[in-house]
Structure 1
Amino acid sequence: MLDGAGALLVCAGAGMGVDSGLPDFRGPEGFWRAYPPYRALGLSFEELADPVHFADDPALAWGFYGHRLSLYRATTPHAGFAVLRRWADRVPTRVFTSNVDGQFQKAGFDAESVAEVHGSTHHLQCLAGCGEPVWPADDVDVEIDPATMRAVGPLPACGGCGGLARPNILMFGDWSWDPSFARPRLTAHAAWTREHRGHLVVVEIGAGNAIPTVRRQAELASAATGALIRINVREPAVRHGRGVGLALPAADALRALELGRERQ
């Protein structure tokens, strides 16, 4: 499939980041292993990833998202990203991802080729929706008490109205997300996929069934060719019967695929 690809679409879910050391939020236990203070509070990932906390308890909300922002900045993309970059040098390539960590851009992918369907932690928006355009979080550094995972000190503010800022990501039950920054790349992604539909190979990585946005995109994009490579440790089955499922971690699978191509 890869050798015959005229274009490559990478569809990535949360499992893509695990080999880089990013925490696995699969189920409450996985989340609480990564963030023990939230076990004591009885708060799950879904409950914390709710925009209501920015209004009701901003120190709690920014403790969680400020830590994630720092974690993503400090994380080095695993070797599988470099494999994908080498493939991208050979054929036209785009990325569709539900991840908000910015790891593809950090690995060297052109930001304009990365469609982030849930937004990005590396950008902010006004909580009040004052009309200020989405802006980069480059100068944001939230101090956090590691014992309580609450933010201490000044919180990020909107440059327009001076009110509280929030990450520009789509949270659970979020009716206030501003998609204006993500929309141009999502629109370009849809047009590019239509253009290359007849000779497209899709590599789907770490995308599960719990929130199937990435899986559905991968299946839809590969429908015309049947060229789907699904990499998923727990859920590798290709339900429509067209494609290949690999029950491997992301980095191992991508390195093995590259090695196999080199040996041919």
Structure 2
Amino acid sequence: MLRGADALLICAGAGMGVDSGLPDFRGPEGFWRAYPPYRALGLRFEELADPVHFADDPELAWGFYGHRLGLYRSTVPHEGFGVLRAWARRPVRVFTSNVDGQFQRAGFADDVVAECHGSIHHLQCLTGCGQQVWPADGASVQVDPMTMRAAAPLPSCPACGGLARPNILMFGDWSWDPARTQPQLDAHTGWLRSLRAEGRRLAVVEIGAGTAVPTVRRQAELASASSGALVRINVREPAVRHGRGVGIAAPAAATLLALDEHLRGPAGRG
């Protein structure tokens, strides 16, 4: 599938970052292992990833997202990202639900990455004053590791001075600003259409995308529907239920390195 492809689509969920040391928040126990203070409060990931907290308890909201912002800034992408970069000698695009910016950090150009849930590295105004989405480069959030609450000053809008929030699509989020993400998704759709129109062979490598929020899995299955060239890498849920493709029940980094070694073997040379 990979050797015969003219283009490559990488679809990635939270499992992609596990080998870099990032939590995947799988179930309450997995989340609480990563963030013990929230166990004491009885708060699950779904309850914290809710935009309502920015209005009623901004220190709680920014405690959660501020910690994640610092974590993602300090995380080094694992070796599997380098493998995918090496495979990008052919046309490549990334579709991901991850908000961590790890693909860009690993060297992928911003204009080939579609972040369907937005990015923690960008902010939007909570008041809706009209300020366009802006980079979070200058934002710094101090978080008490015992209470997971943020200390003032919290990130603010450069236009009106009101409270800022991450430009991330949260649960039950009617105030998310898609102005940055929608052009990414439009470019992604246009690219897939052009490949089909030109009759080019597409291979899809899906990594760490679960069924709880199946956006990435569905995208991978739809994109590979005509070719059947889907490689699904998933420790817990590797099955390819539409009957076309290959499922591999193994971690991201080790699997990508093994596939790369196989591709570099005698059959992959010349």
TM beyond 0.5: yes
CA apart distance, 1:24: 2.4
Structure 2 equivalent of residue 203 of structure 1: 205
Aligned residues: 263
Letter in 1 for 2:125: C
Residue correspondence of structure 1 range 108-147 to structure 2 within 5 A = 108-147=107-146
Structure 1 equivalent of residue 224 of structure 2: 222
Structure 2 equivalent of residue 67 of structure 1: 67
2:17 aligned with 1:17: yes
Structure 1: how far apart are the matches of 2:128 and 2:260? Answer: 46
The DSSP-based 3-state class of the residue aligned with 1:186 is helix
Residue correspondence of structure 1 range 79-90 to structure 2 within 5 A = 79-88=79-88, 90=89
Structure 2 equivalent of residue 5 of structure 1: 5
Structure 2: how far apart are the matches of 1:15 and 1:195? Answer: 29
Structure 1 equivalent of residue 170 of structure 2: 171
Letter in 2 for 1:140: A
Structure 2: how far apart are the matches of 1:194 and 1:203? Answer: 18
3-12 vs 194-203, which deviates more? Answer: 194-203
Structure 2: how far apart are the matches of 1:34 and 1:208? Answer: 19
The DSSP-based 3-state class of the residue aligned with 2:121 is strand
Structure 2: how far apart are the matches of 1:180 and 1:172? Answer: 18
The DSSP-based 3-state class of the residue aligned with 1:125 is strand
Aligned CA-pair RMSD? 0.6
TM-score by length of 1: 0.99
Letter in 2 for 1:33: R
CA apart distance, 1:184: 1.0
2:108 aligned with 1:106: no
The DSSP-based 3-state class of the residue aligned with 2:47 is helix
Structure 2: how far apart are the matches of 1:117 and 1:152? Answer: 30
Letter in 2 for 1:202: V
CA apart distance, 1:244: 0.3
Structure 2 equivalent of residue 241 of structure 1: 243
Letter in 1 for 2:53: H
196-205 vs 214-223, which deviates more? Answer: 196-205
Q: Which structure 1 residue ranges, 4+ long, deviate > 4 Å from structure 2?
A: none
Structure 2 equivalent of residue 29 of structure 1: 29
Structure 2 equivalent of residue 255 of structure 1: 257
Letter in 1 for 2:171: F
From 230, 233, 251, the equivalent of 1:231 is 233
The DSSP-based 3-state class of the residue aligned with 1:11 is strand
2:54 aligned with 1:54: yes
The DSSP-based 3-state class of the residue aligned with 1:233 is coil
5+ long unaligned stretches in structure 1: none
Deviation string 1:101-131 (CA, Å, 9 cap, x unpaired) is: 0000000000000000000000000011111
Letter in 1 for 2:246: V
Percent sequence identity is 76
Structure 2: how far apart are the matches of 1:29 and 1:185? Answer: 34
